[in-house]
Amino acid sequence: MSVAWQFYAITLLVYFGVNLMAGWAINFQYGVAGILNFGFIIFQSIGAYVASVTTLGASQPGGYQQYILGATLPWPLSIVAAGIAGGLLAIVVGSFALRPIGRAFQGIVLLIVAVIASDLVSTEFGWFDGTNGLAAIPKPLQGALGLGLVSYGWFYVGLTAVFCVVTYFVIRRCSTGPYGRKLRALRENARSASALGVNVRKETMVVFVVGGVIAAISGAVLVQFLGAWAPSTWMPSETFLYIAAIVVGGVDNMAGVALGVAILYTGILEGVQYFPSIGVGNLVGAVQWMAIGILVALFLWFRPQGMVPQRRRRLSTRVRTVRGSRANVVGVRERDDKNVLT
């Protein structure tokens, strides 16, 4: 395989892994717990920024990039710092956005928070070097390993995979069993859940924080591969891509999310490169977004549960008396997840 192809494959895989982590995180918030987090991208972003500044060293006054919280932490700690930042941001934002104002309002408030964040970072305050963003972010363990560029690339793919596995592990544990059940009950009918002892605000906050931490770590993993990060990388509209991935792939289903991420990112966003370029350069980008918009609308209309829907959890251990013929039992199964609307 030629070097160019290898780089391409490496980039694709790292992006896929990062988006997988983020997709699972937002699906945990939305698919499992019902939180409409339209501001999701800021959690990924703060992880990226914190991972950057904690490895860039202290900001030099008069240097070419200005930022806060400079440090030179050994690699794993920068990831930890990113995760903590994501969690803290979630606590701060959640304290006002997760009030009982209704799901729809929550979603738009979170979108507005994302817009505010984007505005604030883009100003000349110098939090994270404004619109220029940060660059020359060191790649983890590069010096220590002394690998060639391509080999390092594959190493990073492996690293991303490890993070994906850990994310899968965490979210899977949270999505199954009594806890997952409690969260889904919250999603289905918060009032009933509350009447049965669920502390809705606290549980919502926990999910928000967990999602925020994972999103932040995904941002850290991505930024240390890319080496640079700026407001243009994390427009509020990016959240919509993740939402599209879970709507298309499957809400409340981790395999579905993986499928959705594959289709949306690898399929649409990358695959378009192979189309003949027509018209002006940006036309392709615009058409991509139009296609995504149509795709999401089609799924919401015809198959809102996504391609791989929520799985029915069959807990019954006792033999059921078969009512009438076998067809009856099959018929019950057919009704599977049809009414699982997003």
Partner 1 sequence: MHMSMVNADQLPAAEPAFLTVTDLWRSFGGVQAVAGVSFAVPQHQIIGLIGPNGAGKSTVMNLIAGIEHPDRGSVFFDGADISHAPPHQVAKRGLIRTFQISSEFARLTVLENLMMAVPHQRGATFWGAMRGRRFWSEDEKVNLERAQDLLERFHLSDLADDYASDLSGGQKRILEIARSMMAEPKMLLLDEPFAGIAGPLARTVEEYLMALRDEGVTMIMAEHELSVIDRCSDSVVVMALGKVIATGRMEDVRQNQEVIDAYLTA
Partner 2 sequence: MSLEVLAFGYGLVSAAIIALAAVGFSFQFGISKIFNVSYGAMMSVSAFVAYYVDIILRTSLWLGLVAGGISGAVLGLASERLLFSPFQRRRPAIAAVIILSLALDFFTQNAINAIAGPGFFSYRLPPETVFRFVGTAWTPLELVFVGLAVFAMVSVHLLLTQTRFGTAMRATAADRALASSCGINVRRSTSLAWAMSGLLAGLSGVVLAADSGAFSFVSGDTFFLVVFAAAVVGGLGHTYGAMIGALVVGIVTEEVAVFSPSLKYVSAFGVLIVLLIISPGGILQIAGKVRSDVISE
Who contacts 253 (Cβ-Cβ below 8 Å, separation ≥6)? 31, 306, 308, 309, 310, 311
CB of 96 to partner 2, least distance (A): 5
Beta strands in the chain (DSSP E): none
Site for partner 2 in 179-208 (CB under 8 A): none
> How many chain residues interact with partner 1 (CB under 8 A)?
42
Q: Which one-letter DSSP state was computed for residue 67?
A: B
Question: Does 311 engage in binding with partner 1 (CB under 8 A)?
Answer: no
Spell out a b/e string for 238-264, using b for 16 or more CB atoms within 10 Å of the CB, else e.
bbbbbbbbbbbbbbbbbebbbbbbbbb
Spell out a b/e string for 22-36, using b for 16 or more CB atoms within 10 Å of the CB, else e.
bbbbbbbbbbbbbbb
Question: Does 189 engage in binding with partner 1 (CB under 8 A)?
Answer: yes
67 binds, among partner 1, partner 2, none (CB under 5 to 8 A by kind): none
| Residue with Cβ nearer partner 2 (19 or 118) | 118
Question: Does 286 engage in binding with partner 2 (CB under 8 A)?
Answer: yes
Query: What is the Cα–Cα distance from 219 to 82, expressed in whole angstroms?
Result: 8
184 binds, among partner 1, partner 2, none (CB under 5 to 8 A by kind): partner 1
Question: Does 30 engage in binding with partner 2 (CB under 8 A)?
Answer: yes
Residue identified by tokens 């999103």 is 215
SS3 of 323, please?
A: coil
The DSSP secondary structure of 146-182, one letter per residue, reads: ---HHHHHHHHHHHHHHHHHHHHHHHHHHHSHHHHHH
| Residue with Cβ nearer partner 2 (225 or 234) | 234
The DSSP secondary structure of 208-266, one letter per residue, reads: HHHHHHHHHHHHHHHHHHH--B-GGGG-TTHHHHHHHHHHHH-TT-HHHHHHHHIIIII
Question: Does 325 engage in binding with partner 1 (CB under 8 A)?
Answer: no
Question: Does 275 engage in binding with partner 2 (CB under 8 A)?
Answer: no
Tally of CA atoms within 13 A in the half-sphere of 198 that contains its CB: 25
Query: What is the contact mask toward partner 1 in residues 147 to 186, using x (rule: CB under 8 A)?
Result: -----------------------x--xx-xxxxxxx-xx-
68 binds, among partner 1, partner 2, none (CB under 5 to 8 A by kind): none
SS3 of 126, please?
A: coil
Q: Which of 1, 144, 195, 280 binds partner 2 (CB under 8 A)?
A: 280
| Residue with Cβ nearer partner 2 (34 or 47) | 34
292 binds, among partner 2, partner 1, none (CB under 5 to 8 A by kind): partner 2
| Residue with Cβ nearer partner 2 (32 or 292) | 292
Q: What totals of helices (H) and strands (E) does the chain contain, helices first?
A: 14, 0
Cross-strand partners of 128: 67
Question: Does 326 engage in binding with partner 1 (CB under 8 A)?
Answer: no
277 binds, among partner 2, partner 1, none (CB under 5 to 8 A by kind): none
* Nearest-5° Cα angle at 24, 310 to 12: 120
What residues line the site for partner 2 (CB under 8 A)?
30, 34, 36, 38, 96-97, 99, 101-105, 107-109, 111-113, 115-116, 119-120, 122-124, 237, 240, 243-244, 247, 279-280, 282-283, 285-290, 292-294, 296-297, 300-301, 304, 341-342
Question: What residue ranges bind partner 1 (CB under 8 A)?
Answer: 170, 173-174, 176-182, 184-185, 188-189, 191-200, 206, 210, 310, 312-318, 320-321, 323, 332, 335, 337, 339-340
